[in-house]
């Protein structure tokens, strides 16, 4: 019976498949279909000009998806050691999360001149 470490490694490895699929699908939607509905969405709202931010989000998704595919093929075809493929996967996931956060913050700048509308 596998121990908990082996089980967690399998879960991490199997999670790379849907992550890479979703990220490559998002890049395809941005670059090929010109669908900007998921570009820099913050609190359910698109930025004022999503077309401006689409190349950045598309490249981030493309590179992150390809890096995970590289890690998957490295494990399956080239028998990458544990430290190598988990390092590639973890750095890629964090790079994607932090990169999207930065793009969202730049696409939705903070405005201090907003006037609050009172209801009631």
DSSP string, 71-106: HHHHHHTT---HHHHHHHHHHHHHHHHHHHHHHHHH
pLDDT digits (tens, 9 = 90+) for 59-107: 999 999 999 999 999 999 999 898 999 999 999 999 999 999 999 888 8
Single pTM value for the model: 0.83
Q: Where are the domains of the chain?
A: 20-107
pLDDT digits (tens, 9 = 90+) for 12-47: 999 999 999 999 999 999 999 998 888 888 888 888
Identify which has the larger pLDDT, 69 or 7. 69
Interatomic CA distance for residues 66 and 60, integer angstroms:
10
């Amino acid at each position: 019976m596998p121990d908990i470490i082996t089980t967690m490694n399998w879960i991490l490895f199997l999670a790379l498949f849907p992550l890479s699929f979703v990220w490559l699908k998002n890049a395809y939607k941005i670059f090929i279909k010109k669908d900007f509905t998921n570009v820099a969405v913050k609190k359910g709202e698109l930025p004022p000009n999503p077309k401006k931010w689409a190349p950045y989000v598309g490249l981030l998704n493309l590179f992150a998806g390809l890096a995970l595919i590289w890690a998957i093929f490295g494990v399956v075809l080239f028998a990458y050691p544990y430290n190598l493929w988990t390092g590639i996967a973890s750095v890629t996931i964090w790079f994607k999360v932090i990169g999207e956060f930065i793009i969202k913050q730049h696409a939705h700048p903070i405005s201090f001149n907003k006037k609050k509308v009172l209801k009631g």
